[in-house]
Amino acid sequence: MPVTTLDPRTALVVVDLQKGVLAAPGSPYSTGDVLARTVRMAEAFRARDLPVVLVRVTAAADGSDAVPGRTELSRAGHAWPDGWDEIADELAGRPGDIVVTKRNWSAFYGTDLDLHLRRRGVTQIVVTGVATSIGVESTARAAHEHGYHVTLATDAMTDFDPEAHRHSVEKIFPRLGETGATAEILDLLAATAS
């Protein structure tokens, strides 16, 4: 189902559009295209005094804050370059934006995101970011579980695996909320604010 409604208190939640993540190639959309579309949405939300949440993921250099638990894919021993966890310059530094730092996939778990949204009366979120099947999907699932209306800007997100992106967009997101392209969401935002 395409996106039908934006609540009067909708927030934009931007997942992991930071320097280290944006340096990687995305698929099916380039990370540069995702950033450009997200910047357009952030400007539109800010112009209407709606919250913009910039989520960044980080980790201690020694791995001491890594999520525990056995997995089949190793997470140990990764050295991150300086500044990898800094929010993209095109998005960062705007007064009034909310910055949330996470240390796992979801922007909700172990952060104060829900508190920020509830105190501002937010009832719906629009989610963008990288990677579709990891941070974006985990955040959308948690938002749905927290009772928010969820809208997913499917051309303002990308993955490192095009099949993972497709699966999230086609199979998972319709169970969590509504999906739409950036242009559709911006048109609906303009109509809602009129």
For 108, 136, 176, the CA distances from 89, given in Å and listed in that order, are 23, 20, 30
Q: What is the residue-averaged pLDDT of the chain?
A: 93
Nearest alpha-carbon partner for 14 in 184, 161, 152, 175: 152
What is the rounded CA–CA span in Å between residue 34 and residue 170?
A: 18
The two three-digit tokens of residue 191, written as one number? 């109509």
Q: For 155, list phi and psi in degrees, rounded to 5.
A: -100, 5
Q: What are the pLDDT digits (tens) for 89-141? A: 999 999 999 999 999 999 999 999 999 999 999 999 999 999 999 999 999 99
- Beta strand 98-102 pairing with 124-130: unpaired
Long-range (24+ apart) CB contacts under 8 A made by 144-147 are 144/176, 144/177, 146/108, 146/114
| Cα first-last separation, the chain | 24
**Residue 60 pLDDT class (50, 70, 90 cuts):** confident
pLDDT beyond 60 at 76: no
What is the rounded CA–CA span in Å between residue 193 and residue 181?
A: 18
For residue 66, give every residue at least 6 positions away whose Cβ sits within 8 Å of its Cβ, in sequence order, or none. 59, 60, 75, 76, 103
Q: What is the CA radius of gyration of the chain?
A: 16
Confidence at residue 75, expressed as pLDDT on a 0 to 100 scale: 60
What is the rounded CA–CA span in Å between residue 42 and residue 175?
A: 25
Q: What are the pLDDT digits (tens) for 5-18? A: 999 999 999 999 99
Go through the chain and tell me how many residues it has.
Answer: 194
> The pTM is what?
0.94
For residue 116, give every residue at least 6 positions away whose Cβ sits within 8 Å of its Cβ, in sequence order, or none. 51, 53, 98, 100
Confidence at residue 68, expressed as pLDDT on a 0 to 100 scale: 75
